[in-house]
Every structure is written in structure tokens, then in C-alpha cells.
Amino acid sequence: MTPSSPSLDPAQCAALLRQAKSAVALTGAGVSTGAGIPDFRGPNGLYVTRRYDPELVFSIDHFRKDPRMFYEFTRDFMGTLQKVKPTFTHRFLARLEGLGMLKGVVTQNIDALHRYAGSRRVVEIHGSYWSATCISCRGAAAQAKSYEWWEESIRKSPRSPVLCCGTCGGVIKPDVVFFGEAVRGFEEAVQMVEGCDLLLVLGSSLAVYPAASLPQLTRAAVVLVNKGGVALAPAANRFFVEARLDDYFSQVAERLGIAIETA
């Protein structure tokens, strides 16, 4: 963001949402930090506080050799998830979709909070813990399991990886994208962004590719709301708002006359 970048107050954002026919949201870690999930790489993130090496935790080659480090990280992360709920912004986006004002969400986050908030069309390009697959048989035995299923499985297996419930005995891997794996649903994400008439970029510095390339694919208005800088060049139809997401969108919701249930 630069001083010359055009900004947008909540009333103006509400007006853009009223006019839009196919709005889309792109979300990053900043949406979930408001729920109490620190950015993994931030000063209070698990990479730092528990001294995890992300190059090993999320290495598919290392996982195949020894999945214990990933499972240790997962137990810590799920311990954090037990204490959090979707934020106002998560619930606001779900409400917009329910009202037909938002076509869907593309997210870089793996916490599945958009789904828990009630969003139906969610493209998780880095995957999430929402489903899982056996790395040996690639079967569907563990697909579409809920977070509660993971919590119970890990509780029953506190010191070892979760094994396939089939006959192969392979290790179950949550459908989180590791280094060395392709992102998920990116074609759908591209189609959503190219076809939108308003793009909300929320809680992302746009520093990680390929997600960072998505705002460049649309000629529609782009509203970027983030605490801190965003790696996107200013343009006449790009609006940069430095604000806390929940504070900003509570005002947008008020201007739209939309009531959001308290979590």
C-alpha cells in the first residue's frame, strides 16, 4: 500500500457489494488470525513457538519417510482449533453467499473455518483438514471426514500417525497441500476470479504464489483489506484499506442492513 493508493470507506464498499452480480472473496491468514490462529510464520506462530521447520513439516518426501513430525504439528494445530470459532468476517462472507451477493470464497487457509461458518462454495487451494486420504491405497475410506473425526482419531493414537481404516495399513494424510504437491482447485479459482465483477482480497499480503497472481486476472474492482502491506500495484479500480477485518466488515454489514448472528 502507498499513500497514493485509493482507499474505500465501509459505505462505499457496501455500495460496491450492492451493485455486484458475481462478487468473489480471496482470503489469507489475516482472516483467521482474528479467530486466534496466529500466522504460522508470525512471532506467535507454531513455526516459531514450537520451533517447527516448515520445510520438513510440510515436505511430502519427508512425510512419506517419517510422518511423525507432521502429526506432532497437527496435534498442536488442532489443539489451537479447539479453542477458536469463525470470525465475524468468516460469517459475513457466508451470509453474503446465502443472500446471493457472493459467488464463493477462494482461500489460502487450511483451517476450514469458512466451511464451519457456513460458506458452501469454498476453494481451498492449499487444501485443509476437512478431508483426508490414505497415501498408500489412495482410497476414499478417509475422504470427507470432519474435524471431529480427526480429533477422535488423533486422541486414540496420541504418539503415532493415523493408519488407514482399510486393509492396506497405510498412513492417512490430511488433504493439506505440501511442498512438492500441486495446489488444489486452482482452475476453478481462476475461473471464479476471471468471471467476477468485484474481488475482495482479505487478510492476504499477496506474497505467496500462485494465489498472489489471482487479483491480476480480473479487470473488475478489487478491494484489498489487510493490516500491513500488500504486494499489488495500485490502479484506478484497486482500493486498499488498512484495517482490522472484523471492524471494517461489521460497518459494511451495518450499511447493508445485514444482521450477523453472534458466534
Q: Are 228 and 205 in contact (CB under 8 A)?
A: yes
Beta strand 221-225 with 198-202 is: parallel
Give the position of cell 487479483. Answer: 215
DSSP secondary structure code for residue 128 in this structure: E
Whole-angstrom CA distances from 63 to 60, 104, 132, 140 are 5, 32, 14, 20
CB-based burial label for 4 (10 Å; 0-12, 13-18, 19+): exposed
Our answer to whether residue 62 is catalytic in this structure is: no
Q: How far apart, in whole angstroms, are the C-alpha atoms of residue 123 and residue 29?
A: 15
- Of 62, 90, 114, 126, the catalytic one is 126
Rg (CA), the chain: 19
Give residue 80's identity as a one-letter amino acid code: T
Query: How far is 125 from 107, CA to CA, in rounded Å?
Result: 6
- Name the residues annotated as catalytic: 126
